[in-house]
Amino acid sequence: MCDGVVAHEAQILSCVQTTGGEVPTGAARLSAHKLLWYKRDASWNQFALFLRGDVEFSLTDEQQQLRRTVRAFAEGEILPHVMEWDEASHFPTEIIPKLAEMGFLGVIFPEKYGGAGMGYIEYAIIIEELSRVDGSMGIIVAAHNSLCTNHIYKFGTEEQKKKYVVPLAQGKKLGCWSLTEPEAGSDAGGTRTSALKKDGRWLINGSKTFTTNGHYADVCVAMAVTDPAKKSHGISAFIIEKGTPGFRPGKKENKLGLRASDTSEVVFSDCEVPAENLLGKEGEGFVNSLQILDGGRISIASLGLGMAQGAYEASVRYAKQRKQFGKAIAEFQAIQFKLADMAMEIEAARLLTYQAAWLADQAIAAGNYDTRFTRESSMAKLYAGEVAVRVANEAVQIHGGYGFIKDYPAEKFYRDVKLCTIGEGTSEIQRLVIARQVLGKG
């Protein structure tokens, strides 16, 4: 039998050949955990290669340089405007071209489609570093990349990819993704927005809520019911362009946090879209959305991770500077314990987040785009989101009264992080998802 862990690559290759398996041309021999993927009987099998008996957790030189580059950009271009944009609920259209120029609006897409050709580890780093300065920037970039553009990239036709993914990945257009409705939140299968075939076109009616980038997006991917009898298998995805008659943004939400990002309704009133704007197979839009959310939850985990890191660093700075009873409050054990717990939980969240991102990268490298990493992405999203809330709460506490006023960053982090336990599946839904995976019901 040729299963389990094999000690040497030569043994695996011999084993695969002996049992009739096929090693695809350019099969990825991946460095992080030394995984070799090969195709056998139309299913993917995985062998662990322990060539040196070690596991590498450090980032590559290129990834470390990317972190420095994003951090410098965020601190130079975003930080000076954070409170101004937050107070005014100003969507920073002026920063979008700069995000595009840096390649942040097409991180995970191949260069042939206008993207930066990077992976999910790099994507997580970018979202983390942007969010360390301002979570609003992180969520603008995340919704555009991993939801709207990724849905078209993963399930669109070649024509749709050329028409939409290319300008989206280049940052020439901004994207949004609409699944949630007023009566279909955690129960996303309860979608009521409808799409009916009429004279070779689709007629869409209904409304979506909590759509990130809704007012400013040039391209919207939205889910609508095409066959009510099939329930969740009767929901399809559509691509709708800005300016399409019958399609418009609705109410802009006045939010607790992440106020520089746009969250709004989108409304469809006898909105006609061409038949070729059906995205994926008819009736598979909801199923495809669940796959898209695997990557989307890595985004939210990275968002929470970045904001937690920002709140933690602000707390360390303040604790070293603030003096009470004749010494810096960092000298008091009560504050030290808080900082220690914050640092520990952030690092644990980072490992979960990067693990999920790494698994996404390995699936892509292996050419197996149907691989799911649902459990790991849900764990990362759940833990990182809740860590962000705990860290931000402690940041306010460490700052004391100054944590309650806008002269210090603690209060903004406190407001912003709560979204991470709600967006793209609440903490309660994540626990259900994880439990189903653990019990084999996923």
Q: What is the pLDDT of residue 126?
A: 98
Stated as kind and residue range, the H or E segment containing 35 is strand 35-40
Structure tokens at 254: 């006045």
Between CA 119 and CA 359 the distance in angstroms is: 10
Q: What is the pLDDT of residue 369?
A: 67
Q: What is the pLDDT of residue 57?
A: 83
Q: If pLDDT is split at 50, 70 and 90, which confidence band does 55 have?
A: low
- Spatial CB neighbours of 248, under 8 Å, sequence gap ≥ 6: 266, 267, 269
| E strand spans, 226-277 | 235-241, 247-252, 263-274
* pLDDT higher than 70, residue 379: yes
| Domain 293-438 belongs in CATH node 3.40.50.2020 | no
Domain boundaries 177-285, corresponding CATH code: 2.40.110.10
Mean pLDDT value of segment 407-430: 97
Compute the mean pLDDT over every residue in the chain, rounded to the nearest whole number.
Answer: 89
Q: What is the pLDDT of residue 366?
A: 82
Q: Do 145 and 299 contact (CB within 8 A), yes or no?
A: yes
- % of the chain surpassing 70 pLDDT: 87
Closest to 74 in 3D by CA, of 101, 95, 100: 95
> Which one from 128, 181, 424, 428 is the annotated catalytic residue?
424
Stated as kind and residue range, the H or E segment containing 44 is strand 43-48
Q: What is the pLDDT of residue 371?
A: 75
Closest to 299 in 3D by CA, of 435, 177, 401, 428: 177
pLDDT in tens, 251-277: 999 999 999 999 999 999 999 999 999
Of 21-25, 146-150, 155-159, 251-255, which gets the smallest average pLDDT?
A: 21-25
Mean pLDDT value of segment 360-389: 91
Between CA 263 and CA 261 the distance in angstroms is: 6
Q: Do 357 and 119 contact (CB within 8 A), yes or no?
A: yes
One-letter amino acid for residue 19 of the chain: T
Closest to 145 in 3D by CA, of 137, 431, 25: 137
151/187: higher pLDDT: 151
pLDDT in tens, 68-121: 999 999 999 999 999 999 999 999 999 999 999 999 999 999 999 999 999 999
- Spatial CB neighbours of 239, under 8 Å, sequence gap ≥ 6: 152, 156, 160, 164, 219, 220, 221, 273, 277, 279
Q: Do 167 and 105 contact (CB within 8 A), yes or no?
A: no
Closest to 240 in 3D by CA, of 215, 269, 218: 218
Whether 424 is catalytic is yes
pLDDT in tens, 190-200: 899 999 999 99
| Domain 62-174 belongs in CATH node 1.10.540.10 | yes
Torsion of Cα atoms, 238 then 240 then 246 then 249, to 10°: 110
* pLDDT higher than 90, residue 242: yes
Q: What is the pLDDT of residue 188?
A: 73
Closest to 38 in 3D by CA, of 18, 12, 1: 12
Q: If pLDDT is split at 50, 70 and 90, which confidence band does 38 have?
A: very low
| E strand spans, 166-277 | 175-178, 194-198, 201-212, 219-225, 235-241, 247-252, 263-274
Cα 274 to Cα 138, 244, 395: the distances in Å are: 33, 10, 51
Q: If pLDDT is split at 50, 70 and 90, which confidence band does 442 have?
A: low
* pLDDT higher than 50, residue 59: yes
User: Domains of the chain: which residue ranges?
Assistant: 9-48, 62-174, 177-285, 293-438
First to last CA, the chain: 29
Q: If pLDDT is split at 50, 70 and 90, which confidence band does 186 have?
A: confident
Q: Return the half-sphere exposure (C-beta side, CA atoms, 13 A cut-off) of residue 207.
A: 12
Q: Is the Cα dihedral 237, 240, 246, 247 positive or negative?
A: positive
- % of the chain surpassing 90 pLDDT: 82
